[in-house]
Amino acid sequence: MRLLRRGFIGGVATIAALPAMAQPTPSREMVQLSTGAGLIIVELATEKAPITTANFLRYVDERRFDGARFYRAMRTAAAPPAGLIQGGLENDPSQALGPIAHESTLATGLRHVDGVISMARYAPGTASSEFFICVGAQSSLDADPSAPGDNAGFAAFGRVVAGMDVVRAILASPVSATAGDGAMRGQMLDPPVMISTARRS
């Protein structure tokens, strides 16, 4: 699934070793993504983004993300390296659920800062199984009513609280120079990074 939006089409110009983890906030859920590159733990903003978090947790609880992959690394020209990694089911019709309503950053108050997890989509209201994690601030992914075209942004719904070193390692992983369509060409991980399990913690 592509991340489609103004200016973004084509690219935005062992547990013991984990860093200290932030304490979970009341009314928030924690999810562990066990990947081929290491463990990523995300805290979901269940109160601020209830539709999006409920959708993500359904995939987790039904174990639909077991065997999913991080398959895309979109890198910006920023230093230190920034961008996003995208994962999910690659719209596998046997596993992907139906689309959900779009929760704008204007409504949730969440922003695409370093470590934020958000939903990939085409038009607003088409997000289902694909998600991404930001490395560095990506303010162009926030909703902006003053911008032309599709300015609804993407639906942020949580943040990484442990494992950003793993996220950055995936971002720096090799990509194919030819795989991917349109804006995603040259951004497809080769090989992808497996998500072996996704569990509430």
- The predicted pLDDT at position 24 comes to 44
pLDDT band at 21 (very low <50, low <70, confident <90, very high): very low
Dist CA 143 CA 161 (whole Å): 24
pTM for the structure as a whole: 0.87
Domain annotation covers residue 154: yes
pLDDT over threshold 70, residue 86: yes
Tell me the per-residue pLDDT of 127-174, one tens digit each, with 9 for 90 and over: 999 999 999 999 999 999 999 989 999 999 999 999 999 999 999 999
Domain annotation covers residue 31: yes
Domain annotation covers residue 173: yes
The residue segments making up the domain with residue 89 are 27-200
The per-residue pLDDT of the chain, averaged, comes to 88
Query: Domain containing 98 — which CATH number?
Result: 2.40.100.10
Domain annotation covers residue 128: yes
The set of residues, in sequence order, having a beta carbon less than 8 Å from that of 20 and lying 6+ positions away, is: none
Domain annotation covers residue 13: no
Domain annotation covers residue 15: no
Tell me the per-residue pLDDT of 155-164, one tens digit each, with 9 for 90 and over: 999 999 999 9
Domain annotation covers residue 194: yes
Evaluate the omega torsion of the peptide bond into residue 80 and state whether it is cis, within 30 degrees of 0. Answer: yes
Number of domains in the chain: 1
pLDDT over threshold 80, residue 37: yes
The set of residues, in sequence order, having a beta carbon less than 8 Å from that of 64 and lying 6+ positions away, is: 58, 89, 95, 96, 97, 129
Domain annotation covers residue 116: yes
Tell me the per-residue pLDDT of 8-20, one tens digit each, with 9 for 90 and over: 323 333 223 333 3
